[in-house]
Amino acid sequence: MEKIELMLLPYPENALEPVISKETISFHHGKHLATYVNNLNALLEGTPLAGKSLEEIVLKAEGGMLNNAGQILNHNMYFSQFTAKPQQAVPTGKLAEAISRDFGSFDAFKEEFQKKGATLFGSGWVWLSADKDGKLVITQETNAANPIQKGLKPLLTFDVWEHAYYLDYQNRRPDHLAALWQIVNWQVVESRYA
């Protein structure tokens, strides 16, 4: 049976400093995400969903299997959308056009995204997604949920579980969210929208 693998980070653990510290990345990827991967592989063994894609598992599983698969899918998208040296500070092309069309401006989008991240009660994720017509929406997903469960195509996410920021920002979740824009790899987000 093909196992779910722990994704490799596309940058060194210290690459995102000072926005996210090496210590936070090390725990977040090497401990939290690794635990979800180990848990899921143990739960999948001998079941019909063993060997299936994470997306398929998220759409079909329940309980612990769904929670662990959702967290892996969420974190894989999260870690792979950052870069130490963004080539562009803002989105371009079709994504930029859609953001202007659906939110008014990039700044208005950022404000709403941060607000929804800051006001999500408890643990979860704020997401930018596209619906089946390409219209952009921002959703709050609690715990391990992913927008694919609502039929949406996920593009960008900020993790608002405390493990994502507490070592660096303590209770200042809004400050953490505001800083994350500095390391978003818009080329990756644009390729998800294409």
Give residues in contact with Fe ion (CB under 5 A): 159, 161, 164
Q: Provide the minimum distance between the beta carbon of 160 and Fe ion in the complex, in angstroms, as a whole number.
A: 9
Q: Provide the minimum distance between the beta carbon of 87 and Fe ion in the complex, in angstroms, as a whole number.
A: 25
Q: Provide the minimum distance between the beta carbon of 91 and Fe ion in the complex, in angstroms, as a whole number.
A: 23
Coil/strand/helix, residue 92: coil
Longest dimension (CA), the chain: 50
The 10 Å CB-count burial string (b at 16+, else e) for 120-130 is beeebbbbbbb
Angle value at C-alpha 160, between 155 and 161, nearest 5 degrees: 125
Q: Provide the minimum distance between the beta carbon of 28 and Fe ion in the complex, in angstroms, as a whole number.
A: 6
Nearer to Fe ion, 74 or 129 (CB): 74
Nearer to Fe ion, 72 or 95 (CB): 72
Nearer to Fe ion, 98 or 164 (CB): 164
Nearer to Fe ion, 29 or 52 (CB): 29
d(CA 7, CA 32): 12
